[in-house]
Amino acid sequence: MKLIKFLMLGVSLFYAVMGIAIAADKKLMTYILAEKKAGDVATVTATTKAKLSKAGFEIVGEYSPYSTATILIVTNETLKANAASSDFGAFGAGQRVTITKVGDEVQVAFTNPTYMSHAYRMKGDLKSVTAKLKSTLGDQGGFGPNKGVTAKKLRDYQYKWLMPYFDDSLNLADYGNQQIALEKVEAALKNNKVGVKKVYRIDLAGKEETVIGVSMAGLDNLECSGDKYIMNEIDFKKVKSTGHLPYEIIISKGTVYALPAEFRIAISFPDLSMMGSNSFMSIMCAPLAIQEALTVAVGGEFDED
């Protein structure tokens, strides 16, 4: 009897260890499809906003990059607290909920907070926020990359050899003081000629760090930086990855940062091919154009070298 109990204990421990290993290696999807339904973007957007507000999410911004899509940027206390406790956590302070018309259906989807928490190296995995969004909006499964990406890989993500990591951020401008930086950036976003405008802003309490999400129209010979230009090339699957937008800038202790496009686009489209149609090669002009547009838009001086 003791031998049987010992063997059963051993089997239980084996499966427990295997379960931990499997969980640790679980592949995450970039986005979660909440539902597909008939209707128009405006009506579904209104319904979605009501659901989010009722569930305690704060809608801090709304953006329609084209007539068939609306993006809602949401946050809550859990997201902001986790962001405040993480280095450059402001990148993950907001999540995007998208309403996209595709043919005769409307797709409601959202960025996967758990996926983003690992991509942005946050302290918490935001599983509670993921669960909250699923219970609020629906859950028809993850989508984005064909096979998903593990948390371990996301925390050290690099699209290809020699491509940037999360901590290889772009320094767009340095104002030396957080309040001055915020004032300068807000003013520049209202008056620049490159088509970059503020969509939302989240300030982290108790921390000199703010995230501002921006739209990019691709003006002044910087068409390659435009949201519509980029999405027309790479968002080609049947279920749309509209939640890639909008792009973020971070103001931290007086310095303005952004993620290089080779990283920021790649975490939204991790299985995008390097060559061929609908590939990174088709938007090869985008990284430099985005860097220039963002630099000019926050009042910085762009140096191509």
Global pTM value: 0.91
Same domain, residue pair 188 and 150: no
Helix 261-268 vs helix 286-297: angle between axes, to the nearest 10 degrees?
110
Same domain, 180 and 278: yes
138: exposed, middle or buried (Cβ count in 10 Å: 0-12, 13-18, 19+): middle
- 91 and 178 fall within a common domain: no
State the Cα–Cα distance between residues 195 and 175, nearest whole angstrom.
22
Whether 104 and 186 share a structural domain: no
Domain presence at residue 22: no
Residues 208-245 pLDDT 10s: 999 999 999 999 999 999 999 999 999 999 999 999 99
Q: Is residue 2 included in any domain, yes or no?
A: no
Would you say residue 15 lies in a domain? no
Same domain for 259 and 204? yes
Q: Which of 127, 154, 181 is the last residue of a domain?
A: 154
Same domain, 191 and 150: no
Q: What is the pLDDT of residue 194?
A: 97
Instruction: Indicate the DSSP class of residue 201.
Output: E
Domain assignment of residue 141, given as a range: 28-154
Sequence-separated (6 or more) residues with CB below 8 Å from residue 36: 105, 106, 107, 108, 140
Query: Are 73 and 146 part of one and the same domain?
Result: yes
Which among 149, 194, 203, 186 is positioned nearest to 296, based on CA atoms? 194
Residues 147 and 63 in one domain: yes
Domain count, the chain: 2
Between CA 222 and CA 220 the distance in angstroms is 5
Q: Domain check: are 209 and 269 in the same one?
A: yes
The values of phi and psi at residue 147, to 5°, are: -120, -5
Query: Do 140 and 208 belong to one domain?
Result: no
Structure confidence at residue 278 as a pLDDT band (50, 70, 90): confident
- Tokens representing 293? 């547009």
Residues 102 and 52: their CA atoms lie apart, in Å, by: 22
Residue 230 belongs to a domain: yes
Q: Which residue type, as a one-letter code, is found at position 71?
A: I
Q: Look at residue 3 and tell me if it is in a domain.
A: no
Q: Which of 97, 127, 154 is the last residue of a domain?
A: 154
Q: Which pLDDT band, with edges at 50, 70 and 90, does 12 fall under?
A: very low
Burial class for 146, CB neighbours closer than 10 Å (0-12, 13-18, 19+) = exposed
- Read off the amino acid at residue 276: G
For the ranges 2-16, 147-161, 235-249, the lowest mean pLDDT is seen at 2-16
Provide the CATH number for the domain around residue 56: 3.30.310.70
pLDDT for 4 beyond 50: no
Place of tokens 């371990």: 152
Distance CA 187, CA 302 (A): 18
By the 10 Å C-beta count (0-12 exposed, 13-18 middle, 19+ buried), 220 is classed as middle
- Res 283 pLDDT > 60: yes
Only one residue has tokens 């409601």, namely 108
How large a percentage of the chain has pLDDT more than 70? 92
